[in-house]
Structure 1
Amino acid sequence: MKPYTFIFSTMSVDGRIAGETGFSRLSCHEDFVLQHRLRAQSDAVMVGAGTVLADNPRLTVRLTPGKSPARVVVDGRLRSRPDSRVYQGPGLRVLITSTRWGPEDLKPYREAGVEVIQAPEDSRGLVDLRLALEDLRESYNVRRLMVEGGGRLNYELLARRLVDEVRVTISPLALGSGTSIFQKPEARMEPSPGPLARFILVDYKPVCGNWLHLVYKILYD
């Protein structure tokens, strides 16, 4: 059984979480506070390697009371450095990667105190996220998982029917191009047969006066 998995993201009105130059300052203060509150309510928070490389996030709780969750990085190609901030400090830190890597490849992460989950790759060279999430729950008791991107990780989770809920804040900006909240990876450029899922709006609220936070439950046909 996998954890209850929800995506949290802030996007422009045209559905981008970052522009072509990497601009991603889309949140306002209330949105940041909400993000940290949701972290405190989760057992773990997960990002992809691209987010670690672009933002070097801590993924800790700082703006609200509460305990920081476990920090999880999906990195099938070992692009994230073991000294990245997400891997530092107290608490559980987990790397999800491919079974292709041997003990010597993973030694720097383990020496940094990082737990490692290895899952097989599919025919496109992508880590089997369902098996990895099931391991995350069974081995580390992660029952509520918050996903903070990036767009390619969001897409893969949705395409594999692993997302239960999406929380998205729409900022009053348009970027015109860049990374979508659900960015189809280059390894999956075959045409989609139809919608990946149905989004059922269950809640919404304004934040910072001009931003809008939406909560969707996800249904799969």
Structure 2
Amino acid sequence: MPVDNERAGAGGDAGTGLPGTRRPGGRTARTRAAVRDAVLAGLAEHGYPGLTVEYVAEHSGVHKTTLYRRWGGVDGLVADTLDLAGEDSWAAPDTGSLEGDLRALAMEVLRAFDDAATAAPSSAVIAAAFQSERAAQALRAYYTERFARCEAIVDRAVVRGELPGPREAVDGGALVRAASAPLFFRLFITREGLDATAVEQAVAVTLAAARAGVFMRDG
């Protein structure tokens, strides 16, 4: 799920990657969105080490004095980009089955990183989290909130009888993470890239583990 300039402004759907955000009205919101777009462009073009306040000022039209005063520097700019990414209306897929929902989530990751144009901003933001503690905290908060939304998938699966209950006994966050973790491992650790086979394997393994009760909480 990309964080590219077009989707970030238009509010495209995304899930376990980094989605776009809606662009609310008002001068402050427009300024924040312009700054966000410039940060994403700069990260994609130069990476975190090459991103500067001067670059963001030039590409956003916001004076660097304002950027320093409001965001404090590059770390603050990247963190706010992630904060803004989390202010969207994305909801977890509802396909009618746990298998379908997990596949839909995994396919969002595949589609996002299969296209170089959409993959560059998301990859750059994730890379920034390895170099900036503030960016890492913002990325962790983003994913914590994103996976919390995904717990609706587990709620529905328990109601349908696809998973053992009661609902509170199932660690929904761990289940959803299990479906996406192998994909991000291939993308950012082994650098193998993704294909449909990798998606199906991740879904099948997660589904089998869920049905076997692996994600039941102790006690």
With the length of structure 2 as denominator, give the TM-score of the two structures: 0.28
Q: Point out the structure with max Rg over C-alpha.
A: 2
Q: Which structure would you say has the larger RCO, counting Cα contacts within 8 Å and 6 or more residues apart?
A: 1
With the length of structure 1 as denominator, give the TM-score of the two structures: 0.28
Higher helix share: 2
